[in-house]
């Protein structure tokens, strides 16, 4: 009796996996993939944003370090 239940479970699981891949394929057909030009443009925008944010963080770090060193020097006398 237990053997029969195992076979049914494997058939159900196999059917669920097959359905998952059929649905996955169906959904991937609906995707609008970007053109290489769009990918390049978006990549350059991301790189530019990362550089701008990096510069702002570097400037904040520089000013904070200068302020903390000035505060330490004032406390030391």
Task: Give me the residue label for tokens 């237990």.
Answer: 2
Q: How many domains does the chain have?
A: 2
Task: Give the alpha-carbon dihedral of 54, 58, 64, 69, to 10 degrees.
Answer: 160
Indicate whether 26 and 40 sit together in one domain.
no
User: How confident is the model at residue 18, as a pLDDT?
Assistant: 87
Indicate whether 37 and 27 sit together in one domain.
no
pLDDT-derived band at 48, boundaries 50, 70, 90: very high
Indicate whether 44 and 57 sit together in one domain.
yes
Indicate whether 26 and 41 sit together in one domain.
no
Indicate whether 39 and 72 sit together in one domain.
yes
Q: What is the mean pLDDT of residues 1-25?
A: 77
Domain extent at residue 27: 1-31
Q: What is the pTM of this model?
A: 0.57
């Amino acid at each position: 009796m237990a053997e029969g239940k195992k076979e049914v479970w494997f058939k159900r699981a196999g059917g669920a996996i097959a359905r998952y891949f059929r649905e996955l394929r169906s959904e991937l057909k609906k995707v609008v993939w970007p053109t290489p030009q769009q990918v390049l443009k978006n990549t350059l925008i991301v790189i530019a944003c990362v550089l701008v944010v990096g510069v702002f963080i570097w400037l904040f770090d520089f000013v904070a370090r200068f302020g903390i060193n000035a505060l330490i020097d004032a406390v030391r006398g």
